[in-house]
């Protein structure tokens, strides 16, 4: 069972990394800051899943892993708020 958990975390990390690449590509094409926030957030999520797969996937209660996830979700929220404020100023 732990091997399957490690595999799934590695797959999740790879998927989040690829999603981050796509968001950064859209950011470069459009200049929209929302895509930069989302790209950074997905790369942080990829980092957290990769660390869990490399260190110990069964001990997910480690605070630094949750701190990385917290920063990622805060980036998502800040990006959405930033986008909505920019729209309301126009």
Q: What is the pLDDT of residues 35-52, one digit of tens each?
A: 999 999 999 999 999 988
pLDDT of residue 12 exceeding 60, the answer is: yes
**What does the pLDDT read at residue 2?**
76
Length of the chain: 90
Whether 48 contacts 75, CB under 8 Å = no
DSSP H or E segment with residue 78:
helix 63-89
The pLDDT assigned to 57 comes to: 53
Q: Give the predicted TM-score (pTM) of the model.
A: 0.86
CB-CB contact of 26 with 35 (8 Å): yes
Q: Which secondary structure element, helix H or strand E, spans residue 42, and what is its range?
A: helix 33-54
Q: Above 80 in pLDDT, residue 10?
A: yes
Average pLDDT, integer, range 18-40: 96
| Residue ranges per structural domain of the chain | 2-89
Using pLDDT thresholds of 50, 70 and 90, give the confidence band for residue 78: very high
Residue 15: is its pLDDT beyond 90? yes
């Amino acid at each position: 069972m732990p091997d399957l958990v490690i595999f799934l975390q590695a797959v999740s990390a790879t998927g989040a990394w690829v999603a981050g690449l796509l968001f950064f590509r859209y950011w470069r094409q459009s200049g929209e800051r929302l895509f930069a926030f989302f790209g950074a957030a997905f790369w942080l999520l990829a980092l957290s899943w990769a660390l869990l797969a490399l260190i110990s996937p069964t001990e997910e209660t480690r605070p630094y892993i949750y701190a990385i996830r917290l920063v990622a979700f805060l980036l998502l929220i800040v990006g959405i708020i930033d986008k909505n404020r920019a729209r309301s100023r126009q």
